[in-house]
Structure 1
Amino acid sequence: MTFRTLINRKKLLAMIPLSDRTIYNLEQRGEFPRRIALTSRNVAWDLAEIEAWVESRKNCSAQAMRPGYHPMAEPV
């Protein structure tokens, strides 16, 4: 049996300096670990998945794009 350490929103935001909305948008696009619904009003994240995400960002040589930015999209 594997034990996982879960962190709440407060601890997540202390680790990841992004807004709630940005984290939610990243989750919806599959670019951030998904939250785990513990109850109808309480969510948590797997600490190992968050740490792996941070490492992947550190190891990524490309500059991060703005959320919602698509370089191939036609200008309006």
Structure 2
Amino acid sequence: METPPLPFRRTIRRRELHQMIPLAETTIYDMERRGEFPRRFNLTPRCVVWDLEEVEAWIEERKQQSRSGKSSPAPGPDVNQRITRPVRSRNQ
């Protein structure tokens, strides 16, 4: 018995993703690690893609949260990890 073909799932590469999501690469990567953004996957060792349907669902979810007023503010940076440098006075 032959298995039915998988439904067509469109994937997008980095350039298309950045046209849809105007966030820095590191922001997207950090959100992926925290489970807050769809995960990328490799088609080949040098070709990374995202599932377009998952990205569109993420955008829609963010839009609904924003419009309902139920979105929690994005967490701020962890200031305990900050590397401090001495502040120079302007006279130096």
Please confirm whether the aligned pair reaches a TM-score higher than 0.5, indicating the same fold: yes
The 5-angstrom pairing of residues 15-26 of structure 1 reads: 15-26=20-31
Q: How many residues align?
A: 69
In structure 1, stretches of 5+ residues that fail to align are 70-76
Structure scoring higher RCO (CA < 8 A, sep ≥ 6) equals: 1
Structure 2 residue aligned with 1:31: 36
Runs of 4+ residues deviating >6 angstroms: none
Cα distance in 2 between the residues matched to 1:64 and 1:12: 23
Counterpart of 1:62 (choices 52, 55, 71) is: 71
Following superposition, the deviation at residue 38 of structure 1 comes to 1.1
AA paired with 1:14? Q
Cα distance in 2 between the residues matched to 1:63 and 1:42: 34
Structure 2 residue aligned with 1:41: 46
In structure 2, stretches of 5+ residues that fail to align are 1-5, 79-92
Q: Matched residues, percent identical? A: 49
The structure number with the bigger radius of gyration is 2
Structure 1 length-normalised TM: 0.82
Structure 2 residue aligned with 1:73: none
